[in-house]
């Protein structure tokens, strides 16, 4: 059941990303300033270097956000080990 939840979350994020990209592309067909702004955004998004770097930084930000949320929910993953590598339980 846990794997299905992860697959659904990943698929949902991909769908939201492409719907947002489609919305930006759709604004390029609007009349007037909105259409010009949409065309400028679309050209920036689809230029090779900017697209790759933007996706990299977006992915990195998303990775840090998900990891921060997981740490907030599950607590710190800091573990102390003894000299044999066995975890030490602390009473605090």
Long-range contacts of 12-21 (CB under 8 A, 24+ apart): 21/45
| Exposure letters 25-40 (e unless 16+ CB within 10 A, then b) | eebbeeeeeeeeebbe
**Which residues are 70's β-sheet partners?**
none
Residue 85 lies in a domain: no
Q: Tell me how many domains the chain contains.
A: 1
Backbone angles phi, psi at 81, to 5 degrees: -115, 150
Residue 27 lies in a domain: yes
Written as tens digits, the pLDDT of the chain (92 aa) is 588 888 998 899 899 989 988 998 899 899 999 999 989 988 888 888 888 888 898 889 989 998 888 888 887 777 788 888 888 877 65
User: Does pTM surpass 0.95?
Assistant: no
Per the structure, the complete domain to which residue 40 belongs is given by 2-73
């Amino acid at each position: 059941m846990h794997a299905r939840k992860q697959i659904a979350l990943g698929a949902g994020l991909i769908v939201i990303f492409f719907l947002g990209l489609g919305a930006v592309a759709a604004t390029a067909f609007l009349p007037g300033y909105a259409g010009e702004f949409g065309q400028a955004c679309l050209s920036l998004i689809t230029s090779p270097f900017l697209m790759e770097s933007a996706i990299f930084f977006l992915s990195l930000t998303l990775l840090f956000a998900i990891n921060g949320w997981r740490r907030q929910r599950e607590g710190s993953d800091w573990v102390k080990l003894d000299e044999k590598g066995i975890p030490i339980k602390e009473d605090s």
